[in-house]
Structure 1
């Protein structure tokens, strides 16, 4: 038998891991309730006393999940502040970033059998940055619509300008709806890629979101982003 030695790299703080899973759960709740709100279920087969209130219940669940999601997102940002491994964003100002990106793309296109070892590869970094942008749009448009139903809410009032920028509430609703689909499509692709990396490339993508550590055979090219004093052996 061949012995394989792996080096442990502590990457993700408890803030990222805990609130990552809370946000995953809230995204599922938000998407499910959002679909019902956008296209209410046929109520003719429901009891009259229930059919007039079920959509209100769905909206309440949607609102509660939205507030939990936003709170988790804020606390996750705190994790970015205290832990380097939580903020592995694209380094567009570094020339090697683009060469590494091409290297990863070639591997995913099956042009080459593997790519350099990374704690978080360049394509993943860019995709997460895009996700945070989508989340920001979703939060802004969501609170803008909430303002229309709860104009006395101080939190929602801070996002009233979004309806002005979009032109009207209907456009705000459409942006919110399509961005939600974008997040779900990202989640599907993300799930595929992390499972692929976990089992085909042994990059501890799934397990690291529970343990906080990655166990790699090869020394990662971006180790210095987590530990500036790291020296390649």
Structure 2
């Protein structure tokens, strides 16, 4: 995997270099923001599906609030699933940065050496961050374990639960009903699906913190890169 790396300590005190790399292509950025809105909608509606409102005002036949909540959840989930399929397609046709969050080079000693350096940097044990055009090794591993795999798990279990509701003759149950062979207890699938939501939400909070931190500490344009696609790095040493 080709990465652009530079240590801040390699620059002189009088120098100030700017490196601009087009890292994230338009489909990757579009997928990022679709995910953001879908996850927000799924988390909110999923919470109310798991903990329904105790009552709604008026006659029961005049209220469809929970129905609208469920419809919004299912719609957001289907959009998320289609976007994930298209994103997997882009892994094969996009640039090198498009495939980073879908695999980790466990066999590479260099990867783990740089991963350890990033851990030390985030623990404030070193002041010399390495510069990457794409994801650094730590973020690459975290995104795989806390986002890519959990997101795939949520799509699979979500369609399995939806297929159980619409019936065994549905295409959803035909494709995803095997989930209930692994876990015959439907409530267990519901529970794991619920826990998966919290894994992704915890990741989102970490992701936002790290993105803002990188902008400030490492002087990398992390936040704006998901709008423009360009990673701007400022190499200085005070």
- Output the TM-score relative to the length of structure 2: 0.85
1:20-169 equivalences under 5 Å are 20-43=32-55, 45-49=56-60, 53-83=64-94, 84-88=96-100, 89-119=103-133, 120-130=135-145, 131-151=147-167, 152-169=169-186
Displacement of 1:136? 1.2
Count of aligned pairs: 216
Q: Is the 8 A contact 2:162 2:172 kept in 1?
A: no
Structure 2 portions without partners, runs of 5+:
1-13
Q: RMSD between aligned alpha carbons? A: 1.7
Structure 1 portions without partners, runs of 5+:
219-233
1:175 to 174, 184, 192: 192
Question: SS where residue 16 of structure 2 aligns?
Answer: coil
The whole-number CA distance in structure 1 between the counterparts of 2:87 and 2:159 is: 19
